Structure 1
Amino acid sequence: MTGALVIGGTRFIGRHLVNDLLDHEYDVTVFNRGNHGNPFADDDRVYRIEGDRTNDSALELARERAAPDIVFDMVAYEPREVRAATRIFADSAYVYVSSGAAYADEEIPKREGETALEPCTNEQATDDSGETYGNRKAEGDRTVFAAAERGVRAMSVRPCIVYGPHDYTERFDFWIDRVREYDRVIVPGDGTTLWHRAYVGDVASALRVVAEAGEAGEAYNVGDRRLVTLAESIELIADAMGEEVEVVHAGSRELAAGGLSPTDYVLYREYPHVLSTAKLAALGWDSTPVAEAIDRSVADHVDSDRDGSEHAPDRAAEERVLGVLDTL
């Protein structure tokens, strides 16, 4: 049985990864601080080690106790954390969770090894703001590549926007809630905005596939093999709920009536963000059909207390926009 150590492992992507590994008969250990609930607390197949991944001694102890064949690093947010992990786990396969945000150039699609990555200054490397997230992930990728040159079997996986059950970011939940609560859903622009997404179960399987068949020093994009626009997403959510909704398109002028702009809406992007997934597919990976992935996401949303309200424009503001549109 192959031993896997998951750094993180109890919230979202890591939670799905642990389940995927168990389904494929891995011996699984999770390493985290225990700040969040542990869904595997009653599962004797999952061993847990408590510790802070920013503490090198704690990582070394986890290495000694778990003796992993593969390490999945779900929560490395600064390059120094990747440097430490690739050194400490130099005798294991190491899979780093990067991000599509690591890409600097706007091109369609973004390809591994071709599209330029974000630069990262010393100041950005230790800054924890959202503005430097892509820079730090890109530097983490470069750290992985450097480790591979030293002989470590280190690889990187770059997801785009991840959605699905247990999504604490609630980005996709915002749109599910809109369809659930209102029969008219405002979509900014003409509805064709395209921000590539990845179903969380597919991200989990991608991590395992890369660990099993990936090449050291390589990065692999992961995202839905079929892309859908924001307006199409609303229609798929409505189908999953058995609801009928009117998709109302609102441009910048109409949104201004409610003090809004297109960028106030989560998952809106002016320029399409598309990642090529051909390299990952060549390893034998495939994605869940989008309609099925959205069905599962909707079912989980209905059973949860998530509503995406932290992302939401005020509905009263949207009602003002609808009032303007109704007079046109």
Structure 2
Amino acid sequence: MRNILVLGGTRFFGKRLVERLLRDADTTVTILTRGLTEDGFGRSVNRLNVNRTDTEALAEAVGDTVWDVVYDNICYSPDEAAAASHIFANTAKRYILTSSLSVYDPRSEILREADFDPESYPLRLGPKDDYSYQEGKRLAETVLLRQTAFPVAAVRFPIVLGTDDYTKRLHFHIEHVQEGQPIGVPNPQALISFIRSDEAADFLYWLGFSPLTGPVNACSDGTLTIGNILSIIGQATGQQAEVQSETADKDRSPFGIRESWYMDTAKARKAGFPFLKLAEWFPELVLELVSERNASLGHRE
């Protein structure tokens, strides 16, 4: 019987990961969250309701239970990573940190794992509020990948999309196009990577069985420019996007990067993971979101 702990498994790809794990009859799943979000799993999972930033409470909650895999989707600081390194030192057989494309600075060339090396990065400790999202993830990787008590893989995801995306970044673009509002895009030709929420969950699940360690890039095959994205939305809505290089803050694209920001996935592909093709699923997702929004607007009217 495999014993799995998921830190942060009540929404988005974390919830999808739990759903995937529960399909295995030989797996016991425990989710650790603050208990603020209804997960809908009923009695199929065990629950530990604790704030993971409270080190003493976290240690008490997980106790001395041995975990075949610990999935950490909610680590944002070196202090949180250091606490996990200590707490799970004798109980985690494998640890998977959800990291981010954000550890890389945008640039025109494709980004490979070696382009940010946590092994040589200057280590500093501190809580989440001391660091930007980028720096927090960099330092979390640095802490966890330097400890030697258990093997660690750090998954570098790009922007994750799906109908269940609570950040609604793609929704933002659809709404602006349909309502004729300007969208601030500093560089429409910038290339960007994405991954779908179910694909992200499938990758995490697969990685739990994989021997891969260290940083691992994970994104759908292919890239889109911001201009491509708005063109696809235009085709789906029948309305053209009003693109401006400068707008008010509320109208700036969440995808509005000034330089390209996209990853190479050769490490994961060589190990056997088949990524989805971005060009195939992205237009389908846009159509689904447009249809949902149209139905919602029609219902309200």
| TM norm. shorter chain > 0.5 | yes
Asked if 1:209 corresponds to 2:203, the answer is no
When residues 234 and 39 of structure 1 are mapped into structure 2, their CA distance, relative to the original with a 3 A threshold, is farther
What is residue 96 of structure 1 aligned with on the other side? 97
SS of structure 2 residue aligned to 1:128: helix
**1:4-43 counterparts in 2 under 5 A?**
4-25=4-25, 26-40=27-41, 42=42
Task: State the Cα distance separating 1:271 from its structure 2 match.
Answer: 0.6
Task: State the Cα distance separating 1:73 from its structure 2 match.
Answer: 0.6
Residue by residue, what CA displacement relative to the aligned partner does 1:185-204 show, whole Å, maximum 9, x if unpaired? 75736732323222222221
What is residue 139 of structure 2 aligned with on the other side? 139
SS of structure 2 residue aligned to 1:210: helix
Aligned equivalents of 2:77 and 2:187: distance in 1? Answer: 38
**1:167-178 counterparts in 2 under 5 A?**
167-178=165-176
Q: Which amino acid aligns with 1:152?
A: F
Task: State the Cα distance separating 1:263 from its structure 2 match.
Answer: 8.8
What is residue 3 of structure 1 aligned with on the other side? 3
Task: State the Cα distance separating 1:286 from its structure 2 match.
Answer: 2.4
SS of structure 2 residue aligned to 1:158: strand
When residues 184 and 261 of structure 1 are mapped into structure 2, their CA distance, relative to the original with a 3 A threshold, is closer
What is residue 323 of structure 1 aligned with on the other side? none
Task: State the Cα distance separating 1:282 from its structure 2 match.
Answer: 1.8
Moved more, 294-303 or 98-107: 294-303
When residues 87 and 302 of structure 1 are mapped into structure 2, their CA distance, relative to the original with a 3 A threshold, is farther
Residue by residue, what CA displacement relative to the aligned partner does 1:278-304 show, whole Å, maximum 9, x if unpaired? 111222222333332553465367558
SS of structure 2 residue aligned to 1:3: strand
Q: Which runs of 5+ in 1 are unaligned?
A: 308-328
What is residue 109 of structure 2 aligned with on the other side? 108
Q: Which runs of 5+ in 2 are unaligned?
A: 297-301
Q: How many residues align?
A: 290
SS of structure 2 residue aligned to 1:13: helix
Q: Find the partner of 2:273 among 281, 285, 288.
A: 285
Q: Which amino acid aligns with 1:157?
A: V
Q: Identity of counterpart residues, as a percentage? A: 24
Q: Which amino acid aligns with 2:238?
A: E
What is residue 244 of structure 1 aligned with on the other side? 238
When residues 262 and 9 of structure 1 are mapped into structure 2, their CA distance, relative to the original with a 3 A threshold, is closer
Residue by residue, what CA displacement relative to the aligned partner does 1:210-234 show, whole Å, maximum 9, x if unpaired? 2211433x11011221111122223
Task: State the Cα distance separating 1:269 from its structure 2 match.
Answer: 0.8
With the length of structure 2 as denominator, give the TM-score of the two structures. 0.82
C-alpha contact 2:7 2:33 (8 A) present in aligned 1: yes
Aligned equivalents of 2:151 and 2:272: distance in 1? Answer: 19
Task: State the Cα distance separating 1:60 from its structure 2 match.
Answer: 2.9
What is residue 324 of structure 1 aligned with on the other side? none
SS of structure 1 residue aligned to 2:86: helix
Moved more, 260-269 or 4-13: 260-269
SS of structure 2 residue aligned to 1:20: helix
When residues 32 and 20 of structure 1 are mapped into structure 2, their CA distance, relative to the original with a 3 A threshold, is same
When residues 107 and 233 of structure 1 are mapped into structure 2, their CA distance, relative to the original with a 3 A threshold, is closer
Aligned equivalents of 1:50 and 1:190: distance in 2? Answer: 43
**1:1-328 counterparts in 2 under 5 A?**
1-25=1-25, 26-40=27-41, 42=42, 44-64=43-63, 67-90=66-89, 91-92=91-92, 93-104=94-105, 106=107, 108-115=109-116, 122=124, 125-128=126-129, 132-147=132-147, 150-179=148-177, 181-182=178-179, 188=185, 191-216=188-213, 218-237=214-233, 241=236, 243-250=237-244, 252=245, 255=246, 260=248, 264-290=252-278, 291-296=280-285, 299=288, 303=292
Q: Which amino acid aligns with 1:59?
A: L
C-alpha contact 1:194 1:273 (8 A) present in aligned 2: yes
Residue by residue, what CA displacement relative to the aligned partner does 1:225-271 show, whole Å, maximum 9, x if unpaired? 111112222343455x5x32224444x4xx5xxx5489922201111
SS of structure 2 residue aligned to 1:166: coil
Aligned CA RMSD, in angstroms, stands at 3.2
When residues 229 and 17 of structure 1 are mapped into structure 2, their CA distance, relative to the original with a 3 A threshold, is same
Aligned equivalents of 2:284 and 2:65: distance in 1? Answer: 37
C-alpha contact 2:78 2:124 (8 A) present in aligned 1: no
Aligned equivalents of 1:189 and 1:104: distance in 2? Answer: 16
Aligned equivalents of 1:271 and 1:262: distance in 2? Answer: 21
Task: State the Cα distance separating 1:95 from its structure 2 match.
Answer: 0.5
Moved more, 108-117 or 224-233: 108-117
